[in-house]
Amino acid sequence: MNAIALDAPSATVWPPGPSSRAFLRSALLPGTNPIARFTAWQARYGNAFAFHLHGRHFTMFIGPDANQYLLATNAAAFAQGASVRLGPVLGKGLLTSDGPLHATQRRLIQPAFHRGRIEGYQATMAAETARLLDTWHVGETLDFSAAMHDLTLTIVGRTLFAVDLGHQSGDIGQSVNAMIRFLRFRPLALFRQQIDLPGFPYHRFLQSKAKMDAMVYRLIAERRAQGTDNGDILSMLIAARDDDGTAMTDTQVRDEVLTFLAAGHETTANALGWTFMLLARHPEIRQRLVDEIEAVLGDRLPTSADLARLTYLECVIKESLRLYPPAWAGTRIAREEVELRGYRLPKGTIVGFSQYLTHRMPEHFAAPERFLPERFDPDHGETHPPYAYIPFGAGPRSCIGSGFALMELKTIVPIILQRFCPALVPGQRIEIEPLVTLRAKRNIIMRVAGTNRARWASQ
């Protein structure tokens, strides 16, 4: 049995936590969500709590030490928990696969995310962003969340699969949305009642899955028929061979393609929405960022070489990802009995961790609820212990697309701010909705304002 030396009580069978009845009661209260429940239990029980539900053991450990233990130091003792929830949609893609299959797939896909390849994608990211902004008009009101989803989906299609998905972005976005909402955690597991009748969640889920499958299999068939290698992920997957020379089946390729289509655009789009919400609420931070963009870029589009010079932009994005990490929590399943913080966790225990809660721990981040980009200033900012800040996870299962996502964020944000100043429409209530990813419960609606300084100052 592996263990990690931590400041913890002597070995105890189980952490404290709510009873099953108390858990279900809190879960059924109107307006509650998992983050609200976990935050309340953290305040009551501390940074380790547990509960039982449907005969399963659930635990939550919050903090950098637990993140390190689960994701890096003792990662081999845990199976990926995402397969339980996401497997019905993503099959055995990189996000849900485990063991040798995951290691093989990650090794195969990794070259598509090497630094040089990502820098090659940056020009497409910039061009697609500029193309979108050509359709915006000063004074109009737009669904900013939906616009960012369409943009990131188009970018993923062009860069990773060499296809134009722009004309299908609405259908794809609706399908992804329907599947994510179906797979959200529901304590009574009503979503497992597979009632395939119009109007029922499972019926909508099946329709959305069928649409996505049809599109992806069509892409695979077209690429196989072309027999060309475009240097993208789809070409790499089709050309891949096992040690015995066996090619991947269409189902295996589909699982990987759908993983990147769904996860690759959903998370970045959410991050863009939260970032511009924060900038709209903090005009002094926005103005400092705009000043940097003007000094470094002027009116020209950023290149990959420019991004390293936009140092305050990086601080803004890092701080936005701290407050609103797109992947807000994760789970692992113990393959064997393990000991964490002095608690013995039997084999099969579902162990949760949370980026969202760890990122808001006051012992690691000063004024953790405030938007303070300067905390990430490399010269004068805060110092944080390892694994206290993990917006892209950590260890052998850290997000393979983190470099891609950061490049995308650092490209899109300055281009928008060069031409427009998105402002929040007054009166809207923006709340978090922790589904598979951290979304806004209602889409973020913004008004497009120009970049006139006097106009900005009056907002």
**DSSP H helix total and E strand total for the chain:** 16, 12
DSSP string, 355-407: HHHHTT-TTTSSSTTS--GGGG-TTTS----TTS--TT--GGGS-TTHHHHHH
Backbone φ, ψ for residue 209 (5° rounding): -65, -40
Residue 426 Rama label (left phi>0; alpha psi -120 to 50; beta): beta
Q: Report the C-alpha gap between 396 and 190 in whole angstroms.
A: 34
- Give tens-digit pLDDT for 347-382: 999 999 999 999 999 999 999 999 999 999 999 999
What is the biggest distance separating any 2 CA atoms in the chain, rounded to whole angstroms? 67
Residue whose C-alpha is closest to residue 326's, from 261, 274, 374 = 274
Enumerate the β-bridge partners of residue 80: 332
Q: How many Cβ atoms from other residues are within 10 Å of residue 94's Cβ?
A: 21
185-199, 244-258, 312-326, 421-435: least confidently modelled range: 185-199
- CATH, domain 20-458, list 1.10.630.10, 3.30.360.10, 1.10.3720.10, 2.30.30.30: 1.10.630.10
SS3 percent helix, strand, coil of the chain, rounded to 5, is 55, 10, 35
DSSP string, 170-207: HHHHHHHHHHHHHTS--TT-GGGS---STTSHHHHHHH
Q: Which residue has the higher pLDDT, 264 or 68?
A: 68
Distances 245 to 72, 86, 115, 224, 249 between C-alpha atoms, Å? 33, 30, 29, 17, 12
Alpha helices in 249-310 (DSSP H): 250-281, 283-297
How many residues are there in the chain? 459
pTM: 0.90
Residue 302 is classified by DSSP as P
Backbone φ, ψ for residue 193 (5° rounding): -75, 105
Whether the per-residue pLDDT at 307 is higher than 70: the answer is yes
Helix (H, G, I), strand (E, B) or coil at 26: helix
- Give tens-digit pLDDT for 37-96: 999 999 999 999 998 887 788 999 999 999 999 999 999 999 988 777 777 778 888 888
Q: Are the C-beta atoms of residues 51 and 17 closer than 8 Å to each other? A: yes
Residue 162 is classified by DSSP as S
Q: Are the C-beta atoms of residues 71 and 353 closer than 8 Å to each other? A: yes
Residue whose C-alpha is closest to residue 13's, from 333, 332, 340, 352 = 340
Whether the per-residue pLDDT at 115 is higher than 90: the answer is no
Residue 97 is classified by DSSP as -
Whether the per-residue pLDDT at 455 is higher than 70: the answer is no
Q: Which residue has the higher pLDDT, 199 or 45?
A: 45
Q: What is the dihedral of CA 20, 24, 26, 31, to 10 degrees?
A: 160
Percent of the chain scoring above 70 in pLDDT: 91
Please compute the mean of the pLDDT values over residues 261-273 and round it to a whole number. Answer: 91
Whether the per-residue pLDDT at 139 is higher than 60: the answer is yes
Q: Are the C-beta atoms of residues 113 and 130 closer than 8 Å to each other? A: no
Place of tokens 């870029």: 297
Q: What is the dihedral of CA 357, 145, 280, 35, to 10 degrees?
A: -20
Q: Give the angle subtended at the CA of 167 by the CAs of 86 and 248, to the nearest 5°.
A: 45
Whether the per-residue pLDDT at 201 is higher than 80: the answer is no
Q: Report the C-alpha gap between 11 and 49 in whole angstroms.
A: 15
Q: Report the C-alpha gap between 220 and 238 in whole angstroms.
A: 8
What end-to-end distance do the CA atoms of the chain give, in Å?
59
Please compute the mean of the pLDDT values over residues 100-104 and round it to a whole number. Answer: 86
Residue whose C-alpha is closest to residue 186's, from 37, 340, 359 = 37
Q: Are the C-beta atoms of residues 344 and 9 closer than 8 Å to each other? A: no
Structure tokens at 426: 């007054």
Whether the per-residue pLDDT at 5 is higher than 70: the answer is no
pLDDT for the residue 55: 79
DSSP H/E element including 36: helix 34-45
Measured over the CA atoms of residue 101, residue 106, residue 111 and residue 112, the dihedral's sign is: positive
Q: Report the C-alpha gap between 340 and 352 in whole angstroms.
A: 12
Q: Which residue has the higher pLDDT, 16 or 14?
A: 16
Q: Are the C-beta atoms of residues 59 and 15 closer than 8 Å to each other? A: yes
- Return the domain boundaries, the chain: 20-458
